[in-house]
Structure 1
Amino acid sequence: MHRPHPAEAEVADELAAVRPALLSRYAAELPGARAAVLTRLWRALAHEPLPWITGRDPGPEGLTLRLRDGRRLHGPAADPYATAAYVTAVRLDSVAYDHPARLMTDLAVPHCVGFAAELGHSVASLALSRADQAPRTKDPQEWPAADWEWEQRVVDGHPYHPGCRSRPGFSVAEQLAYGPEHRPRVELGMLPVRVDECLVTGVWPDNMRDGERLLLPVHPWQAAHVLKRTCEERLTAHPLMSLRTLALSGGPHVKTALSARLTSSVRDISRYSIALSATLSAFAQSLAARADGLLHVTRTLGAATAESADLAAVLRESPQTYASTARGERVMPVAALATTALPESPAWLADFTRLTLTVGLRLLELGVALEAHGQNLLVVLSATGAPLRLVYRDLADIRVSPARLARHGIPVPDLSGRIVTDDVTTLRRKLFGSLVAGALAGTAGSAPALGTALETAVRDLPRTPDLLALLEEPLPAKALTLMRMSPGTPGDQWARLPNPLRPQAR
């Protein structure tokens, strides 16, 4: 207990060289970071279908997990929707563990070694992120003005992923230079590529052209570690929540290729997504018009790839476009709501839940399942903080049902590949897993708060088959730890969480 983990010591050594003033704060943040990651890991152990867990026995003193080899793992009762770090230690038989990486190592299950290394890195990086924060209140008078400032208030990363701050391949200096929570300005490179060597969709702006060449924005980490190129021309930008997407000063947002594993995925941009981007953008605009003014979708302005996922970029409208500064409106990612006092009001949370479900279920009925997690989904607030409208960005992982579209007389766009499906389970998982088990749960912060908000919000919603499934069935959520420990299994894997609308979940 409380022994420094090698990843923590490694970060401390690098920090001593590049930012020694943060060392003491970093050390002070380590216990909280361990608890935050351990809480996320315990949620996974308690609820995901991990093959080496054969039973789960709740009791008055918490939860006991039975392992395939006969050992027992004991910890507190697990709230699958909690965001506070409430797990400070668990016991494997008679041994107590306060560090998630050491616990994972000693579980000695298949693929634990690599995942344990990610957990150690996640703890150390989370402590570093927290150490580099100034005191901040939830007072609306101190709310940010720029959209990218809201993004940078999300310090802890994914609310439920144990690898919430895992950034393998990034040195401490690079985390400080590129991580949004560290509030840097990033100089994007502009790499010239001949137009006839690129796949381009939409309209590529004139200020990113040089005669017969396109100037493709390149993240400096990508340029140094993957492309191994230097770029003479540069653009100043502010990193957003996803790190690889940045707000250009006075301009649009740009998603860059970043061939590093962050949280779960390698962040490249496929030729497939570039090819579909213009079609999806136009389709989304027409679909948003059917949401009674409650939804905007940021337009994809242009997308280009130099025939490689390692060199590509997508330009999108800023969500700020859809908030009226004259009326005092603000737009923020749903993930940033927890940095305000708004979710602490049950009435506000119910109104927000009603808004998101109204839009999400309406589009699902029409034939589109949004991946509406706290990063992709934004909310426009009135001057008094009331939730008015939603803004959605990044269409790369939505799902589109041709059968549902046709049922409603909506022209089916020219799409192919993974985006297209009529499978009801897939469609519902996409929306419910991202919106309810993700954005709404992360905003509510607990099963009781989420259940109360849902109970109030659904009273006046149309009783569609999709809503009935949400009310009556277990709630799907990506099995994030199982996915990280199943390197031979591609695609999403799923857990079935207790329905927050049922008493036993609350």
Structure 2
Amino acid sequence: MSEPDQSTVVPPGLSAPTVADRLRPLPPTAERALVLPLPSIDTTLAVPIEAMRAYRRPDPVGDVVRCDVDTTRRLMRPKTVLQTLWTAGRLNGATHDDVERLTEEFADSAANLALSYTQRNQRELSIRQQASDADWDSDTAFLRAATDPILRSERLITEGHPLHPGAKLRQGFCSSEVVSYASEYDGVPEIRFVAVTNEYSSGVTTEGGLTLSERLYELVSGLRDAVADAVTDAGHDPESMTVLPVHPWQYRHELPERYGRELDRGVIVAIPDCALPAAATVSLRTLVPQGTKRSTPPHLKLSLGIQTTSSIRTITPQTVHNGPRITDVLDRVLDDGQFKSLRGLPETAGACFHDPGGPHTDGQSHDRAKHLSALVRHNPLKYVDDGKLPVTGAALLSRGPLEDRPLIDVLAPDGGPDMTASFLRRYAETIVPDALRLLVAYGIGLEAHLQNCIIVFDDGFPDEVFIRDYGGLRICRDRLAAASHSISLYPGSVTVSDEMRPAYDKLTYALFQNHLAEVIRFLVRQGTISESRCWEIVSAVVGETLENLRYDGIPATWIDDAAEVLFESTWEYKCLTRMRLTDKSHSYVHESVPNPLSRSSE
């Protein structure tokens, strides 16, 4: 570790070298220490880090250490670190209640992470015991052997969100429910069903598509008869009802508590005699039906009233109604022959409980709509050619069960820095050009973070990328109209804006600050390539893409504007911990950080 700056402010009686000495023994990869003096309580916090990564992100590799004048101790719990900072007055005006709430979130996340690590160890032992008989000689072979490699890859994801302080927060689940409903435990929740009178429901489909009820009847054997029996007994005509799939946790907890009156009145009718086994995905609320006659059953995104990271994972009426409408637009745009490797995963039908009247943009009716809602999405396996391997982007950072290293290390070919550089360029070329074309030419900023992307590998290199979940993307209405497309969305939707900035911010945060920054961080850990070279590669792909757009007749002013944003010297970086302190997940807090794509130093 390099020697600390002698000018560093430390508690009275301590020198900077003393602080460094107290951190030893250090993890072998630690290059320096991040030191935070807390003079108001005469102490210092320090943590070994591997490096300061792009966007000024420290890469910690050891415990936080508290260095008082006479003692040194390791702070093993997030709660202790948070309370130390609170006592020192370093939490930017957060209240005591804010600290208590965030402490609870940290504790829940830490407990779930510990449980997840235990499960990973047990899983790996089981897989290794099966490997010889199953002819799994590598992690790649293990993934390829699955009927659904995407689902198998998601079950390897142990650590959750790569940037969020509550990466494994599942507030609302007890431990047994975590095990029953989470993907890393091979959770197989049984989807339940309710029927809602058409007067109290609202839905939408893609142009000419089937309704949510019709799609469910096609998918689930016996559902039509079970609905007919239940609603007839309640005095309704089956044709006057909308069928909604319900997550079993929601069915057990939220349905009787939030909709008890509607159940008593027969506005909502539970369907007790039909359930659909489904595999949990990493998102928890999106489930993959099992045991159906279809080899690629659609994915069902269901409301789930628990908090993960910063949000309660319900589905707003805006998302329900917008998904199929965005699908219609994206399908037309992506099918025009200009896009090479990016495909959207259509959201074909959605429906929700919907009090009469509306639209409901806030208040109790909006809340009731978002807790009983669902969307149907195409299964990405429909689009994967034989011989190719699809993997969820977030799984690339997870340890494979057989080779004891991240999947990206397994999938990226060995061969030194030039081979790693070639892999990264191919990876960037698979997603960046098409995502930027959507942004610049159509005003659509994708939420292309790791969890939303399925990366399809062919002969060891990325070949295609599928984008799922349209609820978080952003659209500039005027730019889309200038490209001869229009869209009408549910009132109160933050999805659309009259300006480009929200679309820029969505893509730059999700794709560059989250997705590619994590891919690069793991490639750099292999030790064969520098981080600066990695970002030079990505920056070059961005520049080449913008130049290619000029040749395609995209207005020069649009491209120049995009270049200014993408290459500006600093970007705004989302401060997730500060946002959690104020409990304002949709009121963003930013800090200006150096942009690794910037060409200002050239």
Fold shared, TM-score > 0.5 on shorter chain:
yes
SS at match of 2:479: helix
Contact 1:354 1:458 (C-alpha < 8 Å) held by counterparts: no
Bigger mean CA offset, 185-194 vs 172-181: 185-194
For 1:275, the equivalent position in structure 2 comes to 321
Which of 320, 338, 341 is the aligned partner of 2:381?
A: 320
Alignment partner of 1:372 out of 444, 448, 451: 448
Q: Does 1:64 align with 2:35?
A: yes
- Single out whichever of 190-199 and 235-244 deviates more from structure 2: 190-199
Distance 1:452 1:362 in 2: 24
Q: Report the Cα distance in structure 2 between the residues aligned to 1:223 and 1:98, rounded to whole angstroms.
A: 38
Matched, 1:421 2:399: no
Match of 1:472 among 562, 568, 571: 568
Supply the distance in 2 between the matched residues of 1:295 and 1:483 (Cα, whole angstroms). Answer: 32
The equivalent of 2:77 in structure 1 is: 99
2:125 equivalent to 1:79: no
Q: Equivalents in 1 of 2:495, 2:253: separation in Å?
A: 31
1:244 aligns with 2:244: no
Q: Report whether the alignment pairs 1:235 with 2:276.
A: yes
1:402 aligns with 2:483: no
**Post-superposition CA distance 1:337-364 (Å, at most 9, x none):** 2242235733212210222211221111
How far did residue 205 of structure 1 move?
4.4
Distance 1:130 1:300, change over 3 A: same
What SS is found at the alignment partner of 2:373?
strand
1:484 aligned residue = 580
Structure 1 gap ranges (5+): 1-58
The equivalent of 1:391 in structure 2 is 466
Does the Cα contact within 8 Å between 1:83 and 1:445 map onto a contact in 2?
A: no
Mapping 1:167-182, distance limit 5 Å: 167-182=170-185
The answer to whether residue 99 in structure 2 is matched with residue 128 in structure 1 is: no
Q: Specify whether residues 504 and 365 from structure 1 end up closer, same or farther in structure 2 by C-alpha distance, changes over 3 A only.
A: closer
Where does residue 212 of structure 2 map in the other structure?
204
Q: After alignment, is 335-344 or 97-106 more displaced?
A: 335-344
1:68, distance to aligned residue in structure 2 (A): 9.3
Check whether the contact 1:337–1:343 (CA below 8 A) recurs between aligned residues.
no
SS, match of residue 259 in structure 1: coil
**Percentage of matched positions with identical amino acids:** 26
Q: What is the count of residue pairs matched by the alignment?
A: 443
Q: Which residue of 1 aligns with 2:208?
A: none
1:121-167 alpha-carbon deviations (Å, 9 max, x no partner): 21111110111122268631111530222222211111111211111
* Alignment match, 2:154: 151
Q: TM-score, normalised by structure 1?
A: 0.80
**Further displaced range: 460-469 or 69-78:** 69-78
Q: What is the deviation of 1:462? A: 1.9
1:442 aligns to 2:518 (yes or no): yes
The structural deviation recorded for 1:93 is 5.4
Name the residue aligned to 2:347. Answer: 300
Match of 2:166 in 1: 163
Closer/same/farther in 2, CA of residues 504 and 242 from structure 1, 3 Å limit: farther
TM-score (norm 2): 0.68
CA contact (8 A) 1:186 1:239 kept: yes
- The structure-2 alpha-carbon separation of the partners of 1:235 and 1:252, relative to structure 1 and needing over 3 Å to count, comes to same
- Name the SS of the counterpart of 1:170 in structure 2: coil
CA contact (8 A) 2:569 2:599 kept: no
C-alpha RMSD over aligned residues? 2.8
Letter aligned with residue 484 of structure 1: R
Structure 1 residues 68 and 166 mapped into 2: Cα distance closer, same or farther (>3 Å)?
A: farther
Per mean C-alpha deviation after superposition, the further-off stretch among 311-320 and 225-234 is 225-234
| Unpaired runs of at least 5, structure 2 | 1-19, 21-30, 128-136, 206-210, 218-223, 228-237, 258-269, 355-368, 399-406, 414-419, 548-558
- SS at 2:450 equivalent: coil
What is the 5 A alignment of 1:182-197? 182-197=185-200
**Does residue 414 of structure 2 align to residue 342 of structure 1?**
no
Amino acid aligned to 2:502: T
Structure exhibiting the larger radius of gyration computed from Cα positions: 2
Aligned to 1:64, what secondary structure does the other structure show?
strand
SS at match of 1:169: coil
Aligned pair in 2 of structure 1 residues 412, 400: CA closer, same or farther (>3 Å)? same
Contact 1:295 1:389 in 2 (8 A): yes
Q: Describe the SS at the equivalent of 1:394.
A: coil
